[in-house]
Amino acid sequence: MAKPPLSMKPTGWFQVAWSDEIGVGDVHPMKYFDQEMIAWRSESGDLTVMNAYCEHLGAHLGYGGTVQGEVLQCPFHGWQWNQQGRNVCIPYEDRPNRGRRIKTYPVVERNESVYIWHDINSRDPFFEAPDIFADFGDDRSAADYFPQQRLFRQGLQMHPQYVLENGVDFAHFKYVHNTPIVPVFTRHDFDGPVSYVDFTITFEGDDGQKIEDINSGVEAINGGLGIAVTKSWGMIDNRTISAITPVDESTSDVRFMVYIGRPAGPSATRDPARAEAKAHEFGAEVIRQFSQDIHIWAHQRYSDPPALASSELEGFTAIRRWAMKFYPDGRGGSAAELAATDSR
């Protein structure tokens, strides 16, 4: 294990919870980006994510704060804060403190997840959090899939970028995931803050297969460093979301979700319980595969500059340069120096 040399304050959308963890009236304490934060849901269902400390005398609103309709009330002296983090009531004064504001974060709820926009310079979001259904543009929705299966691992000594690099790392598939052959990339698009990687891969058969004969693959959309969604084709229909969120200067929380497609055909309608059990089994296998990656990431040391094979150079160079967009403090390893030299 080694503390990542890359900035743990990257810009982008990051998952901080699942929507169903925060019901109406709930106040949910959490820590990300070295900040104590809370997420709370108003009576009308609006979700707010803000820093946790009351601007009055500093009570932690996640421990005893209560939702009152559309505002949050501090447990210490009853001051009330609205969804923009503004003080709207001091119960023992006739006017609120209009000057003080608790920092709030742009938040979206998508695919059952809560994503916040994090930027140390408080810039507005400059891209959208990916949507595992809409973004693949194939008219499929959650209704076409069995319920989301989840993995949650907390406090791992790893950086979000490790997970993204996995997407260009063709050589690891055979060793970490026991794929019979090495996958081939058919798309590397690192132009914008949302990047796209497609590859041909199979998890079945033996190593006598030729890549030209493989009729299955994966398409990945990386929405910044924090959230990646994938869609498989030509194999059991599955989609995944991986979401890595820095907690402090050395650790991250990892959330991984998988959806297995509902089969059409007559056998599925004949025995729905069996179809669901099978889907559960396959989902567990996809999660197991991802856990194999985590086992590497959680103990790896970020290698910079890495000793790349010539066939790896293009992919890794592209992804490490792309990652620079998300490090406003310039702590992006030697790629940062590279980018700085380029722009001179």
Contacts with ligand FES, residue ranges (CB under 6 A)? 54, 56-59, 74, 76-77, 79
Q: In the bound complex, what is the minimum distance in angstroms from residue 176's beta carbon to Fe ion?
A: 5
Contacts 24+ apart (CB under 8 A), 82-89: 83/42, 83/46, 83/48, 85/48, 85/50, 85/51, 87/55
Q: Which is nearer to ligand FES, 76 or 185 (CB)?
A: 76
- The minimum distance between CB 83 and ligand FES, in angstroms, equals 17
The string of DSSP letters for 89-126 reads E-TTSSS--TT-B--EE-EEEETTEEEEEE-TT-PPPS
In the list Fe ion, ligand FES, none, the entry touching 102 (Cβ below 5 to 8 angstroms by class) is: none
Binding partner of 166, given Fe ion, ligand FES, none, CB within 5-8 angstroms per partner class? Fe ion
Q: Which one, 74 or 294, has the nearer CB to ligand FES?
A: 74
> CB burial class (10 A; 0-12, 13-18, 19+) of residue 253?
buried
254 pairs with which residues across the strands?
A: 153, 244
What, of Fe ion, ligand FES, none, does residue 74 touch, CB below 5 to 8 Å by kind? ligand FES
Residue 117 touches which of ligand FES, Fe ion, none (CB < 5 to 8 A by kind)?
A: none
The one of Fe ion, ligand FES, none whose footprint includes residue 31, by CB under 5 to 8 A per kind, is none
Is 253 a binding residue for Fe ion by CB under 5 A? The answer is: no
Nearest-approach distance from CB 14 to Fe ion, in angstroms:
20
Which range touches Fe ion (CB under 5 A), out of 31-39, 151-159, 264-272, 293-301?
A: 293-301
- DSSP letter (8 states) at residue 194: E
Nearer to ligand FES, 79 or 199 (CB): 79
Contacts of 34 (CB under 8 A, 6+ apart): 8, 9, 246, 247, 248, 249
Angstrom distance (rounded) from CA 83 to CA 264:
44
Chain mean position to CA 250? 17
Q: How far is the CB of 75 from ligand FES (least distance, A)?
A: 7
What's the min distance (Å) between Cβ of 73 and ligand FES?
8
Q: Which of 104, 202, 293, 297 binds Fe ion (CB under 5 A)?
A: 293
State which residue, 114 or 218, has the beta carbon closest to Fe ion.
Answer: 218
Length of the chain: 344
Looking at the DSSP bridge assignments, the partners of residue 239 are 231, 259
Are the C-beta atoms of 163 and 228 separated by less than 8 Å?
yes
For ligand FES, give the closer residue by CB, 79 or 190: 79
Give the helix/strand (H/E) hosting 198: strand 194-200
Nearest to ligand FES of 23, 58 (CB atom): 58
**In the stretch 179-218, what mask flags binding to Fe ion with x, by CB under 5 A?**
----------------------------------------
Query: Do the Cβ atoms of 145 and 262 come closer than 8 Å?
Result: yes
What is the closest distance, in whole angstroms, from the C-beta atom of residue 92 to ligand FES in the complex? 10
# of chain residues touching Fe ion (CB under 5 A): 2
Of residues 73 and 113, the one with the C-beta less far from ligand FES = 73
Scan residues 158-177 and list those touching Fe ion (CB under 5 A): 166
Helix (H) or strand (E) holding 282, with range, is helix 272-297
* β-strand partners of 37: 30, 51
Asked if residue 305 has a cis previous peptide bond (ω within 30° of 0), the answer is yes
Residue 127 interacts with, from Fe ion, ligand FES, none (CB under 5-8 Å by kind)? none
Residues 339, 314, 227, 134: what is their CA dihedral angle, to the nearest 10 degrees?
Answer: 120
The residues binding Fe ion (CB under 5 A) are 166, 293
